[in-house]
Amino acid sequence: MKLGLSIGYSGAELRLPVDKVLHAERLGFDSVWTAEAYGSDAISPLAYLAALTQRIRLGTGIMQLAARPPASAAMAAGTVDAMAGGGRVIAGLGVSGPQIVEGWYGGASRTGASATTSPSCARCSSARSPWPTRDARSRCRTAGPARSASANRS
């Protein structure tokens, strides 16, 4: 059995339970998980925790697809993983509810296309491999962050 520690998102004031994470690592926990909503992203806290820990895996649960293009999500996760020594970051991607996408990011909720396209785009980006086809590259460009209604018309 593998144990993971979820520290969620911080809300209005960023607070990381560093002592709890370090204790979990000493106890042999497999992973620590962050989330994002309402002002704190999921990947930045993992960069900080990567510098303080040695082996615990660092997971995002989740990086919201509406917040960033898939290539940006892959680059952020890859950068933190490289700084952590490699093989430690688990990049969880997912959709968010319309209250976050429309209310926080100011865009239209377009979860269907993003949910199916973004993981493959992120895999190509993180592997630093070429896009398999021109059509795939085009889909990855449009699977990025939600855009305002006026931007979607152009």
Closest CA to 33 of 53, 54, 62, 12: 62
* pLDDT tens, position by position, 78-137: 999 999 999 999 999 988 888 877 877 777 766 555 555 556 666 655 555 555 555 554
**How crowded is the C-beta side of 136, counted as CA atoms within 13 Å?**
14
Distance of alpha carbon 79 from alpha carbon 44, whole angstroms: 11
CA separation for the pair 79, 73 (Å, rounded): 10
Q: Any idea what DSSP says for residue 87?
A: S
Model confidence over 139-152: pLDDT tens digits? Answer: 554 444 443 333 33
The identity of residue 138, as a single letter, is S
pLDDT tens for 39-80 read: 789 999 999 999 999 999 999 999 988 888 888 999 999 999
